[in-house]
Amino acid sequence: MTIKPRARNLGLPFRGIPGPDNALTDIPGVLVGFTTVISGEGPLETGKGPVRTGVTAILPKGRQDRQKPVWAGQYNLNGNGEMTGTHWINEAGYFTSPICLTNTHSVGMVHHAVTGWMSRQYVSDFVDGHAWAMPVVAETYDGPANDINGRHITEQHALDAIESATSGLPAEGNVGGGAGMMTYEFKGGTGTSSRIVTIGENTWTVGTLVQSNFGARHQLSILGVPVGLEMPHEAPNTQANEPEQGSIIVVIGTDAPLLPNQLRRLAKRGALGIARTGSSGGHYSGDIILAFSVANEREANRRGLEEPPVLQSMTSVDDHYLDVIYEAAVQSVEEAIINAMVAAETVPLINPAGKSWTAIDHEQLKKIMAKYNRLED
């Protein structure tokens, strides 16, 4: 894998202490994988291409042979989008599946693939224990750059993303579900970041992965600098007098022991990280945030096979100390979005044809940041 420049490599002084890879995978046990599907050139032919899309897979607890609850909370800043499995997350406070991200019209196929993967991975739970699958699959819309109505994502694409999931620094930019996405009318896509937090004698990691596909050019703010106003050129939606459109999926993870209600509160803070980059959460943007914790591990109940204990216990950080974790989440979401932009590469559009999601120019960005004294040597 070619390691692309990241925001900090350009001298952008983000706050907070990042983890070793400054990534969601800094959380022990978390794996991330991708399938990127790119084919075809020229004008749009529905069902044939061009194709610029993919699948991103996040395995919060790696690969295990038993289902284990991943404690979670979810929040919609603006609900013009889809994340499956959230009814149960909001009801029970956990999920047991991989998290997959793709394009809007491929949610069904990816959901189908994850269901099959779970039934094979957790054979004892599904065959002997009558478990059922409620995969977490989320989407953003890549129609300007991808033949989205051709529905080119297959079951195997989703399975390959899951099977390729690994630790270490994930790829960013035009990869996985982010392959055809834009951010503030620059090329966007997949980005990640993390923060180390210390509370008393405890040290934990808060990490974020985004599929970033939102924002109008004039809104873009990086570390308080009005970059979008300084770089108004080649903004296809703005030039066509279109409102802000697209979406962003934010996945925040931590190994800090948090209860589901605390995780929902953490998910809400993800919206502040989005806002730091300039967005006001437009009507046509699906801004959906999921927060999870890998702490408090236990196996899922298996109906009819074994009786669970009458009493269960969970450890949690006292609410008094949550502000440190909130701040880490806001910082990591903000940086993950900018990392997606910095890593991205220009992609031609097919609808409208003749335009592009242009990669943000690193040298021009550095000059603008220096102009506002927001660049480190």
Alpha helices, H only, the chain: 86-92, 107-121, 123, 155-163, 227-230, 236-239, 260-276, 322-343, 362-371
Element (H, E) at 203: strand 202-213
The pLDDT, as a whole number, for residue 282 is 92
| Complete DSSP assignment for 91-103 | HHSEE-S-EEEEE
Query: Which residues sit opposite 166 in a β-bridge?
Result: 32
- CATH fold, domain 7-301+315-349, is L-amino peptidase D-ALA esterase/amidase (3.60.70)
User: pLDDT tens-digit profile of 209-233?
Assistant: 999 999 999 999 999 999 999 999 8
The pLDDT, as a whole number, for residue 303 is 66
Q: Average pLDDT for residues 34-49, to the nearest whole number?
A: 96
Q: Average pLDDT for residues 163-173, to the nearest whole number?
A: 97
For residue 17, pLDDT over 80 is answered with yes
pTM of the model: 0.97
The pLDDT, as a whole number, for residue 78 is 95
Nearest Cα neighbor of 30 from 56, 8, 7 is 56
Q: Average pLDDT for residues 341-365, to the nearest whole number?
A: 96
Contact indicator for 253, 86 with CB cutoff of 8 Å? no
User: pLDDT tens-digit profile of 241-264?
Assistant: 787 778 999 999 999 999 999 999
| Complete DSSP assignment for 310-328 | S--------GGGHHHHHHH
First vs last C-alpha separation in the chain = 27
- Enumerate the active-site residues: 247, 285, 287
In this prediction, residue 240 has a pLDDT band, given cuts at 50, 70 and 90, of: confident
Average pLDDT, the chain: 95
In this prediction, residue 8 has a pLDDT band, given cuts at 50, 70 and 90, of: very high
User: pLDDT tens-digit profile of 85-136?
Assistant: 999 999 999 999 999 999 999 999 999 999 999 999 999 888 888 889 999 9
Q: Return the amino acid letter for 96.
A: T
Domain boundaries defined on the chain = 7-301+315-349
The 3-state DSSP class for residue 266 equals helix
The pLDDT, as a whole number, for residue 299 is 79
Ramachandran sector of residue 157 (left: φ over 0; alpha: ψ -120 to 50; beta: rest): alpha
For residue 1, pLDDT over 60 is answered with no
Q: Average pLDDT for residues 51-68, to the nearest whole number?
A: 95
